Protein backbone atom coordinates (compact mmCIF):
# COMPACT_ATOMS: atom_id res chain seq x y z
CA UNK A 1 0.00 0.00 0.00
CA UNK A 2 1.92 3.00 -1.26
CA UNK A 3 1.03 5.86 1.07
CA UNK A 4 -2.58 6.79 0.37
CA UNK A 5 -3.24 3.76 -1.88
CA UNK A 6 -6.52 1.95 -1.28
CA UNK A 7 -7.97 -1.23 -2.72
CA UNK A 8 -11.53 -2.31 -3.45
CA UNK A 9 -10.61 -5.87 -2.44
CA UNK A 10 -7.98 -5.56 0.30
CA UNK A 11 -6.57 -8.91 1.46
CA UNK A 12 -6.63 -7.94 5.15
CA UNK A 13 -8.32 -10.55 7.34
CA UNK A 14 -7.30 -8.86 10.60
CA UNK A 15 -5.68 -5.61 11.67
CA UNK A 16 -4.88 -4.94 15.29
CA UNK A 17 -3.36 -2.27 17.47
CA UNK A 18 -2.04 -3.39 20.85
CA UNK A 19 -1.06 -1.05 23.66
CA UNK A 20 0.89 -2.28 26.70
CA UNK A 21 0.63 0.29 29.46
CA UNK A 22 2.85 1.13 32.41
CA UNK A 23 1.43 1.75 35.87
CA UNK A 24 -2.32 1.43 35.36
CA UNK A 25 -4.58 1.97 38.38
CA UNK A 26 -6.42 -1.27 37.71
CA UNK A 27 -9.19 -2.89 39.72
CA UNK A 28 -11.97 -5.39 39.00
CA UNK A 29 -14.48 -2.65 38.20
CA UNK A 30 -12.57 -1.35 35.15
CA UNK A 31 -13.90 -3.91 32.60
CA UNK A 32 -17.50 -3.27 33.62
CA UNK A 33 -17.12 0.49 33.44
CA UNK A 34 -15.32 0.19 30.12
CA UNK A 35 -18.20 -1.89 28.75
CA UNK A 36 -20.72 0.76 29.80
CA UNK A 37 -18.81 3.27 27.69
CA UNK A 38 -18.58 1.10 24.54
CA UNK A 39 -21.67 -1.12 24.63
CA UNK A 40 -23.52 0.84 21.94
CA UNK A 41 -20.77 -0.04 19.44
CA UNK A 42 -19.56 -3.28 21.06
CA UNK A 43 -22.62 -4.93 22.64
CA UNK A 44 -21.26 -8.51 22.74
CA UNK A 45 -19.18 -9.31 25.81
CA UNK A 46 -17.12 -12.45 26.37
CA UNK A 47 -14.08 -13.70 28.28
CA UNK A 48 -10.85 -15.15 26.86
CA UNK A 49 -8.81 -17.45 29.07
CA UNK A 50 -5.06 -16.84 28.93
CA UNK A 51 -2.30 -19.27 29.92
CA UNK A 52 1.46 -18.94 30.10
CA UNK A 53 3.97 -21.77 29.77
CA UNK A 54 6.54 -21.87 32.58
CA UNK A 55 9.77 -23.82 33.11
CA UNK A 56 11.41 -23.92 36.54
CA UNK A 57 14.86 -25.24 37.44
CA UNK A 58 15.73 -26.66 40.84
CA UNK A 59 18.38 -29.06 42.15
CA UNK A 60 19.55 -30.23 38.77
CA UNK A 61 16.19 -30.86 37.15
CA UNK A 62 13.62 -28.84 35.23
CA UNK A 63 9.85 -28.84 35.56
CA UNK A 64 7.38 -27.50 33.00
CA UNK A 65 3.93 -26.23 33.76
CA UNK A 66 1.20 -23.86 32.71
CA UNK A 67 0.16 -20.78 34.69
CA UNK A 68 -3.34 -19.42 34.29
CA UNK A 69 -3.28 -15.64 33.89
CA UNK A 70 -6.04 -13.13 34.45
CA UNK A 71 -8.56 -13.43 31.60
CA UNK A 72 -8.91 -10.91 28.82
CA UNK A 73 -12.33 -9.34 28.42
CA UNK A 74 -13.51 -8.99 24.83
CA UNK A 75 -16.14 -6.61 23.48
CA UNK A 76 -17.40 -7.29 19.93
CA UNK A 77 -19.51 -5.35 17.49
CA UNK A 78 -22.89 -6.82 16.61
CA UNK A 79 -21.60 -7.84 13.15
CA UNK A 80 -18.43 -9.35 14.64
CA UNK A 81 -16.18 -7.24 12.41
CA UNK A 82 -14.61 -5.19 15.22
CA UNK A 83 -13.39 -6.05 18.71
CA UNK A 84 -11.77 -4.45 21.75
CA UNK A 85 -9.81 -6.61 24.21
CA UNK A 86 -9.01 -5.48 27.73
CA UNK A 87 -6.77 -6.63 30.58
CA UNK A 88 -4.52 -5.08 33.20
CA UNK A 89 -2.03 -2.80 31.41
CA UNK A 90 -3.29 -4.02 28.01
CA UNK A 91 -5.67 -2.74 25.35
CA UNK A 92 -6.06 -4.37 21.92
CA UNK A 93 -8.30 -2.94 19.20
CA UNK A 94 -9.06 -5.38 16.34
CA UNK A 95 -10.54 -4.79 12.90
CA UNK A 96 -11.67 -8.00 11.21
CA UNK A 97 -13.14 -8.62 7.75
CA UNK A 98 -14.34 -6.67 5.90
CA UNK A 99 -11.47 -4.20 6.36
CA UNK A 100 -12.55 -0.63 5.43
CA UNK A 101 -9.48 1.64 5.69
CA UNK A 102 -7.10 2.92 8.35
CA UNK A 103 -9.01 6.21 8.39
CA UNK A 104 -12.22 4.34 9.26
CA UNK A 105 -10.59 2.08 11.86
CA UNK A 106 -8.30 4.57 13.60
CA UNK A 107 -11.08 6.45 15.47
CA UNK A 108 -11.89 3.22 17.36
CA UNK A 109 -8.28 3.11 18.55
CA UNK A 110 -8.39 6.72 19.72
CA UNK A 111 -11.73 6.32 21.50
CA UNK A 112 -10.74 3.06 23.23
CA UNK A 113 -7.47 4.63 24.37
CA UNK A 114 -9.34 7.63 25.75
CA UNK A 115 -11.70 5.43 27.76
CA UNK A 116 -8.89 3.27 29.14
CA UNK A 117 -6.92 6.40 30.04
CA UNK A 118 -9.87 7.86 31.93
CA UNK A 119 -10.63 4.66 33.85
CA UNK A 120 -7.19 3.21 34.59
CA UNK A 121 -4.98 6.33 34.50
CA UNK A 122 -1.82 4.64 33.15
CA UNK A 123 1.47 6.51 33.38
CA UNK A 124 2.30 5.81 29.73
CA UNK A 125 2.66 3.13 27.05
CA UNK A 126 5.55 0.70 27.49
CA UNK A 127 5.12 -0.96 24.08
CA UNK A 128 2.90 -0.43 21.06
CA UNK A 129 2.23 -2.72 18.12
CA UNK A 130 0.32 -2.45 14.83
CA UNK A 131 -0.16 -5.70 12.92
CA UNK A 132 -1.84 -6.54 9.62
CA UNK A 133 -2.55 -10.14 8.62
CA UNK A 134 -3.26 -10.53 4.90
CA UNK A 135 -4.66 -13.66 3.27
CA UNK A 136 -3.75 -13.53 -0.41
CA UNK A 137 -5.67 -15.77 -2.82
CA UNK A 138 -4.26 -16.21 -6.35
CA UNK A 139 -6.25 -18.24 -8.92
CA UNK A 140 -4.56 -21.20 -10.54
CA UNK A 141 -3.15 -24.57 -9.58
CA UNK A 142 0.44 -23.47 -10.25
CA UNK A 143 1.87 -19.94 -10.17
CA UNK A 144 5.23 -18.19 -10.31
CA UNK A 145 5.68 -16.45 -6.98
CA UNK A 146 8.07 -13.88 -8.45
CA UNK A 147 5.26 -12.65 -10.71
CA UNK A 148 3.16 -11.60 -7.71
CA UNK A 149 5.62 -11.04 -4.86
CA UNK A 150 9.02 -9.40 -4.48
CA UNK A 151 9.83 -11.63 -1.50
CA UNK A 152 9.70 -15.41 -1.86
CA UNK A 153 11.79 -18.51 -1.03
CA UNK A 154 14.79 -19.05 -3.29
CA UNK A 155 16.31 -22.52 -3.49
CA UNK A 156 19.96 -23.38 -4.17
CA UNK A 157 20.50 -24.37 -7.80
CA UNK A 158 21.16 -27.99 -6.92
CA UNK A 159 17.68 -28.41 -5.38
CA UNK A 160 15.65 -27.49 -8.47
CA UNK A 161 13.02 -24.83 -9.05
CA UNK A 162 10.01 -26.28 -7.23
CA UNK A 163 9.14 -26.36 -3.53
CA UNK A 164 6.25 -27.15 -1.24
CA UNK A 165 5.03 -25.37 1.88
CA UNK A 166 7.28 -22.56 3.08
CA UNK A 167 7.69 -19.68 5.53
CA UNK A 168 9.99 -16.66 5.10
CA UNK A 169 10.53 -14.26 7.99
CA UNK A 170 12.68 -11.14 8.11
CA UNK A 171 13.07 -7.82 9.92
CA UNK A 172 13.16 -4.50 8.07
CA UNK A 173 15.37 -1.65 9.32
CA UNK A 174 13.02 0.82 11.04
CA UNK A 175 11.96 3.95 9.20
CA UNK A 176 11.46 5.78 12.50
CA UNK A 177 13.40 5.68 15.77
CA UNK A 178 12.17 2.99 18.15
CA UNK A 179 10.20 1.03 15.53
CA UNK A 180 10.85 -2.50 14.35
CA UNK A 181 9.01 -4.18 11.45
CA UNK A 182 8.83 -7.96 11.04
CA UNK A 183 7.42 -9.49 7.84
CA UNK A 184 6.32 -13.12 7.70
CA UNK A 185 5.37 -14.60 4.32
CA UNK A 186 4.09 -18.17 4.19
CA UNK A 187 1.98 -20.62 2.24
CA UNK A 188 -1.25 -21.76 3.85
CA UNK A 189 -4.13 -24.14 3.21
CA UNK A 190 -6.62 -23.23 0.50
CA UNK A 191 -10.34 -23.82 0.58
CA UNK A 192 -12.06 -25.63 -2.27
CA UNK A 193 -11.67 -23.78 -5.57
CA UNK A 194 -9.42 -21.02 -4.21
CA UNK A 195 -6.19 -21.75 -6.07
CA UNK A 196 -3.01 -20.78 -4.21
CA UNK A 197 -3.25 -19.06 -0.82
CA UNK A 198 -0.57 -17.18 1.13
CA UNK A 199 -0.32 -15.25 4.39
CA UNK A 200 1.54 -11.95 4.47
CA UNK A 201 1.82 -10.91 8.13
CA UNK A 202 3.36 -7.49 8.84
CA UNK A 203 3.99 -6.40 12.44
CA UNK A 204 5.38 -3.04 13.54
CA UNK A 205 6.32 -2.58 17.18
CA UNK A 206 7.54 0.51 18.99
CA UNK A 207 9.33 0.28 22.33
CA UNK A 208 11.46 3.02 23.84
CA UNK A 209 13.67 3.37 26.90
CA UNK A 210 10.97 5.27 28.81
CA UNK A 211 7.17 4.93 28.51
CA UNK A 212 5.54 6.75 25.64
CA UNK A 213 3.38 9.71 26.66
CA UNK A 214 -0.31 8.98 26.11
CA UNK A 215 -0.84 12.12 24.03
CA UNK A 216 1.85 10.88 21.60
CA UNK A 217 0.22 7.50 20.99
CA UNK A 218 -2.02 8.45 18.03
CA UNK A 219 0.94 9.85 16.08
CA UNK A 220 3.08 6.78 16.83
CA UNK A 221 0.21 4.51 15.73
CA UNK A 222 0.01 6.46 12.47
CA UNK A 223 3.76 6.07 11.89
CA UNK A 224 3.53 2.35 12.64
CA UNK A 225 0.74 2.05 10.09
CA UNK A 226 2.87 3.89 7.51
CA UNK A 227 5.67 1.38 8.13
CA UNK A 228 3.24 -1.50 7.61
CA UNK A 229 1.97 0.10 4.39
CA UNK A 230 5.49 0.53 3.06
CA UNK A 231 6.39 -3.08 3.90
CA UNK A 232 3.22 -4.35 2.24
CA UNK A 233 3.72 -2.39 -0.96
CA UNK A 234 7.38 -3.35 -1.04
CA UNK A 235 6.48 -7.05 -0.80
CA UNK A 236 4.02 -7.29 -3.71
CA UNK A 237 4.25 -6.84 -7.48
CA UNK A 238 1.96 -5.17 -10.01
CA UNK A 239 -0.13 -8.20 -11.06
CA UNK A 240 -1.07 -8.83 -7.43
CA UNK A 241 -2.10 -5.20 -6.97
CA UNK A 242 -4.45 -5.62 -9.90
CA UNK A 243 -6.14 -8.55 -8.13
CA UNK A 244 -6.80 -6.24 -5.17
CA UNK A 245 -8.36 -3.66 -7.54
CA UNK A 246 -6.69 -0.32 -6.71
CA UNK A 247 -9.01 2.66 -6.34
CA UNK A 248 -8.25 5.63 -8.54
CA UNK A 249 -7.14 8.73 -6.66
CA UNK A 250 -9.57 11.61 -6.82
Is the residue at 217 inside a domain?
A: yes
**Coil, strand or helix: which one is 172?**
strand
Structure letter (DSSP) for residue 81 = S
Radius of gyration for the alpha carbons in the chain, expressed in angstroms and rounded: 21
Domain hosting residue 140, numbered range: 12-48+68-244
What average pLDDT values come out for the chain (250 residues) when binned by 10 residues? 74 98 94 96 86 55 56 94 96 96 96 97 96 95 87 69 79 80 93 90 92 95 95 95 84
Is the residue at 161 inside a domain?
A: yes
CA distance 85 to 239: 37
Is the residue at 249 inside a domain?
A: no
Residues in CB range of 86: below 8 A, 6 or more apart: 30, 31, 34, 72, 73, 74, 75, 92, 116
pLDDT tens column, 161-216: 666 788 899 998 766 778 999 999 999 988 888 889 999 999 999 988 899 999 99
* Burial degree of 248 (CB within 10 A; 0-12, 13-18, 19+): exposed
Count of CB atoms situated within 10 Å of the CB of 171: 10
| Helix extents (H) in the chain | 30-38, 102-120, 145-148, 217-235, 238-244
- Count of domains in the chain? 1
Amino acid sequence: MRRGRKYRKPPVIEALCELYFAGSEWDDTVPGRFFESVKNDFPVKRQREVQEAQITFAEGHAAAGVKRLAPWIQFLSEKGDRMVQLARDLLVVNQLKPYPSFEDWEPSIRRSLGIYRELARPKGVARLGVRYINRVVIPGARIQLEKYFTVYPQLPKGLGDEHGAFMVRFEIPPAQCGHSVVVTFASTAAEKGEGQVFLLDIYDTCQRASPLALEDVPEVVRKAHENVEAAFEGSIAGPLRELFEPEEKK
